[in-house]
Chains A and B, each alone.
Chain A
Amino acid sequence: MIAHNFEYTAAASLSEAVNLLQKHGGRAKILAGGHSLIPMMKLRLAAPEFLIDIGKIPELSYLKEEAAKIRIGALTTHYMIETSGAVARGCRALADAAALIGDVQVRNKGTIGGSLAHADPAADYPASILALDATIIALGPKGERPIPASKFFVDMLTTALQPNEIVREIQIPVRSGRNGSAYLKMAQKASGFAICGAAAIVELDGSGALSNVGIGITGVGNHAFRATETEKALNGQKPTPVLLKKACENAANGVVALEDIHASADYRLDLARIFARRALEAAIERAG
């Protein structure tokens, strides 16, 4: 459990970090909270020659509530998100996800930017990030680049970030009117990661019909995905137990599910249906 040799630089500013990343390219890794990268290095599964520590850059840790969105700095810890009033009001599914990550120590050190950039297929955030239609602001040598959540998760441990880009901020749109969101998961018993996690957000119009439904599912496929067929089947409909169940039958259509010693593909697919429905039920209940 001892990493290979590496060189370490604590970047004093974001621009310095981007410059260093530009200089070292694929041989360097960004270190934020260190809760994904360091374990991989200790297992010698990752062996970057350069570590660029952005953990000491003060301007990266914040939660800002604006008119129609919440802006979250990349270095914001899971604990800050879990306990933020703004997140609880505006995008509860994200607070749910943060609260279900690891244990207290991990939530105190781990960061949302680090978790998203690492893109573990069983991480908790991606389901909520997708359901909530978040935007990831990447920073590279040419400046900022917004990446919609739907384009961000490309493959297992692979994102739309360029090798010289850093996650700078996560922006989450805040819905107005009657709405609610939730994230639920079944944890893998050893790691605590999601065997299946589902996030849902719903808006309810005056007639009680659903609109702008968003559902994100993590842990099931190579990367988190939106349950688009289910969303379509629900928009404009009044939620009934029969409708929710039927719509969620298609929650993971077309997805090639992961299979390992902890769960088969069939089980993960069924959990996707079950947890999508449960997340929807919780979101609808929260919408009041």
Chain B
Amino acid sequence: MTQRYVGQAMKRKEDPRLVSGTSSYVDDISLPGMLHMAVTRSIHAHARMRRVDISKAQKLPGVHAVITGEEVAASCGPVPSAGEIPNMKRPQRYLLAVGKVRFVGEPIAAVVATDKYIARDAADLIEVEYEPLPAVVNPEKAIQPGSPRLYDEFSDNIAYNFGFETANTEEAFSRADVVVKERFINQRLAPVAMETRGAVATLQMPDNELVVWSSTQIPHLLRTQLALMVRVPENRTRVIAPEVGGGFGSKLNVYAEEGLVAYLAKKTGHPVKWIESRRENIAATIHGRDQIDDVELAVKKDGTILGMRVKAIADLGAYFQLLTPIIPTLTGLLSPGAYKVPALKFDLVGVLTNKMATDAYRGAGRPEATYLIERIMDVAAQKLKMDPAEFRRRNFPQPKEFPYKTSGGVVYDSADYEKALDRALELADYKGLRQKQAQLWKQGKYMGIGLSSYVEICAMGPSTAMAAGGWESGTVRIEPTGKVTVLTGASPHGQGQETSFAQIAADELGITPDDVVVIHGDTGRVPYGIGTFGSRATAVGGTAMFFALQDLKEKMRKIAAHLLKTTPDKIEFSPGKLVAKGDSGRSIGYSEVVSAAYMARNLPPGVEPGLDATRFFEPSNFTFPFGTHVCVVELDSETGEPKITKYVAVDDCGNVINPLLAEGQVHGGIVQGVAQALHEEVVYDENGQLLTGSLMDYALPRAHDFPEFELDRTVTPSPVNPLGVKGVGEAGTIGSTPAVVNAVVDALAPFGVTHIDMPLRSEKIWKILKGRKAS
């Protein structure tokens, strides 16, 4: 294979239709006779519902149906949740609340009407008589004996305990010269995809196939679950993810509203549309993070890490969405980070509270791990009076030690951590920055430098480690004209695989990316697949396609060899033709071979007509991208406001198919990770009321918050897949958050500050500066 396209920063094939506004999102779908759904939601965090009166809503002209919890509990299955943890309490939840509500925004009733305005008015006419109950908001209080309980059927609010110990941590800590201890809190975040959720459902003639368009990352899994939820045969159910305006994990899920539109389409015989409002999006789409980690690190004077203990509390919210209980367990697997931590004890308690469920949000369990290890590394370096870069370097496993089995229980595939660290320090001029920092300090100006040498878990993943299968499907179909159709079970929603997969296919077949069309997101066209999340689409889905390409190439070699009267092992693909190796360059055109496969008049014995192959790739391991980020902040000495003045990221995601896409992922990831460090926070008050219910109070990052990023890469191919790729969808988010916090703490370290909780609002820094006593 000659690489003509792989590795090139090609512009996305997707972009013209997106920037010209000609593409179709769920809300662009309009069907004859379509009704609109609106949802009545709980205004209380925790209450018994004495009565739900729908009579006024039913009487409003234009209203076709009003449904409540009792009806859907009798006619539909529960909202699905996957993942098993021993002795776990799994709350059962229906599409609408029955008897009790357990978070602000919980669906109570649904209305369908001829337009969305009537539907909204009708939803507001539904009268719910509540008996408010004490809200359980703080997870630490929730696990205390005597706390009010969310579920009468459970003895307490503890959903599960999970933990492991690798080697004897007590013994490791007894040998330590220094033990540092700190509490790190990952605040609750809202994913806030630019396109909110939404779905349209219809029963399509002639055979009543249920067709659902949904803004989802997992069309096939949604199809299976919808079939179970609304009791329609799966082979009469089709899910289409049209253009999806971002997900960040929030659409790696199956939601009550998707079941409701399908049920209501069945019930009314009309197509039904629901488009989530931004307020609903913040209240009732999954949240991310919300974890408290008490961390202890045992080190020797020379900077060698001996062991670590982590006690984690994960706030799961009121119910389980698809992967709610599983996400925090990933924190344990990754908690040693990029370091040799010989002894590790990780204890996690998953807690039920009166809030929206947490689940996968860009990084999903790994940002929490990276944050706790990268922060405790700095706390320890500070205590040891050792440069944080040097302390990190001393504890990296060396390249020859890979594959490296960690105390977190996973096997890192390949890495050279020091190389990425060195490159980042060089790009940032780390020595120069430290000198500048000392000078500024003398002038009463506070500048900080933060490092984060992260590693993360990507390419999810081996099915044994996944809640619902970790493989992916790929179909390659060479059409009679030679044009190529790729069908992938991955479901890109902004990642750009229509371009990068076309680059791979073009190089393999000796054609151009313009000859390739990549189809995804439609269960009626694409063989069963898993979807796009966990930085998996290229590493797992791309590999499935790659194997399908190999199958077709093998077949084409046989046909070409037959026609050229040579043997298949002599045939090579080159642009536009298949060449007989070492045979004075005899060749046959690509299109001639394709044509021969379809005309089928002269095929070699045992070769079937056609050029269509489907493969399912089951990965043997995750992949583990890594890198080092360097963040420089300057603090306003009066207001405390932190300003990022420099940001360097050196990432290693293995081989890169399209550097433009990889850079875009890193940019977006850094922005989201920095936003967690500085701005974002979902806040519930002590009664469980949501105080950040709109974008007037929930702070998203803006372009002017950032300097230009300085990016570079090291390339350590992954041995886990033949493409050598690792994944880059979440790296920026995972790597950046601790770099920013480390920088701000570094700026304040001369005042004896060892930690500040996120988000690093100016006021928190102002308080420290007000009370400062420089050491």
Residues of A at under 8 Å CB distance from B?
Answer: 1-2, 4-5, 43-44, 186, 188-191, 261-264, 267, 270-271, 274
Using CB atoms, name the residue of chain A closest to B279: A1
Residues of B at under 8 Å CB distance from A?
Answer: 116-117, 120-121, 124, 277-279, 638-639, 641, 678-679, 683, 691-692, 694-700, 761-763, 766, 770
Cβ contact within 8 Å between B121 and A4 = yes
- Residues in B whose Cβ lies below 8 Å from that of A189: 678-679, 699, 761
Extra inter-chain contacts (19) besides given A189-B679, A262-B697, CB under 8 Å: A1-B278, A2-B116, A2-B120, A43-B694, A186-B762, A188-B699, A189-B678, A190-B692, A190-B697, A190-B698, A190-B699, A191-B696, A261-B691, A261-B692, A262-B761, A263-B761, A264-B763, A267-B766, A274-B639
Alpha-carbon separation in the docked complex, A271 to B277 (Å): 35
Using CB atoms, name the residue of chain A closest to B196: A1
Cβ contact within 8 Å between B279 and A43 = yes
Cβ contact within 8 Å between A5 and B121 = yes
Alpha-carbon separation in the docked complex, A187 to B116 (Å): 35
Using CB atoms, name the residue of chain B closest to A188: B699
Task: Provide 15 A-B residue pairs closer than 8 Å at the C-beta atoms, listed in order of the A residue.
Answer: A1-B277, A43-B694, A44-B124, A188-B699, A189-B679, A190-B692, A190-B695, A190-B698, A191-B697, A261-B683, A262-B761, A263-B761, A267-B766, A270-B770, A271-B639
Alpha-carbon separation in the docked complex, A187 to B124 (Å): 34
Alpha-carbon separation in the docked complex, A91 to B8 (Å): 53
Using CB atoms, name the residue of chain B closest to A274: B638
Alpha-carbon separation in the docked complex, A44 to B124 (Å): 11
CB distance from A188 to the nearest CB of B (A): 8
Given contacts A2-B116, A2-B120, A190-B695, contact A267 B278 (CB under 8 A): no
- Residues in B whose Cβ lies below 8 Å from that of A264: 763
Alpha-carbon separation in the docked complex, A271 to B761 (Å): 14
Alpha-carbon separation in the docked complex, A186 to B692 (Å): 20
- Residues in A whose Cβ lies below 8 Å from that of B678: 189
Contact with A261, one of B121, B124, B679, B697 (Cβ below 8 angstroms)? B697
Alpha-carbon separation in the docked complex, A262 to B124 (Å): 30
Given contacts A1-B278, A4-B121, contact A263 B694 (CB under 8 A): no
- Residues in A whose Cβ lies below 8 Å from that of B641: 186
Cβ contact within 8 Å between A190 and B763 = no
Alpha-carbon separation in the docked complex, A10 to B278 (Å): 29
Alpha-carbon separation in the docked complex, A267 to B278 (Å): 30
CB distance from A260 to the nearest CB of B (A): 8
- Residues in B whose Cβ lies below 8 Å from that of A191: 695-697
Using CB atoms, name the residue of chain A closest to B683: A261
- Residues in B whose Cβ lies below 8 Å from that of A261: 683, 691-692, 697
What 7 pairs across the A-B complex have the smallest Cβ distances?
A189-B699, A190-B699, A1-B277, A2-B120, A191-B696, A267-B763, A189-B679
- Residues in B whose Cβ lies below 8 Å from that of A188: 699
CB distance from A280 to the nearest CB of B (A): 14
CB distance from B125 to the nearest CB of A (A): 12
Alpha-carbon separation in the docked complex, A12 to B196 (Å): 38
Alpha-carbon separation in the docked complex, A142 to B232 (Å): 69
- Residues in B whose Cβ lies below 8 Å from that of A1: 277-279
Alpha-carbon separation in the docked complex, A189 to B639 (Å): 14
- Residues in A whose Cβ lies below 8 Å from that of B766: 267, 270
- Residues in A whose Cβ lies below 8 Å from that of B696: 190-191
Using CB atoms, name the residue of chain B closest to A4: B121
Alpha-carbon separation in the docked complex, A142 to B206 (Å): 69
Cβ contact within 8 Å between B639 and A186 = yes
- With a 10 A CB-CB cut-off, give which of A190, A191, A274 has the most chain B CB atoms: A190
- Residues in B whose Cβ lies below 8 Å from that of A274: 638-639
- Residues in B whose Cβ lies below 8 Å from that of A186: 639, 641, 762
Alpha-carbon separation in the docked complex, A2 to B279 (Å): 11
- With a 10 A CB-CB cut-off, give which of A1, A191, A270 has the most chain B CB atoms: A1
CB distance from B285 to the nearest CB of A (A): 14
CB distance from A194 to the nearest CB of B (A): 13
CB distance from B158 to the nearest CB of A (A): 29
Using CB atoms, name the residue of chain B closest to A44: B124
- Residues in A whose Cβ lies below 8 Å from that of B770: 270
Alpha-carbon separation in the docked complex, A69 to B295 (Å): 64
Alpha-carbon separation in the docked complex, A261 to B761 (Å): 10
Given contacts A190-B696, A270-B766, contact A2 B117 (CB under 8 A): yes
CB distance from A1 to the nearest CB of B (A): 4
Cβ contact within 8 Å between B763 and A263 = yes
Using CB atoms, name the residue of chain B closest to A186: B639
- Residues in A whose Cβ lies below 8 Å from that of B683: 261
Alpha-carbon separation in the docked complex, A262 to B696 (Å): 11
- With a 10 A CB-CB cut-off, give which of A4, A43, A189, A262 has the most chain B CB atoms: A189
Using CB atoms, name the residue of chain A closest to B697: A190
- Residues in B whose Cβ lies below 8 Å from that of A2: 116-117, 120, 277
- Residues in A whose Cβ lies below 8 Å from that of B121: 4-5
Alpha-carbon separation in the docked complex, A188 to B694 (Å): 14
Alpha-carbon separation in the docked complex, A4 to B117 (Å): 8
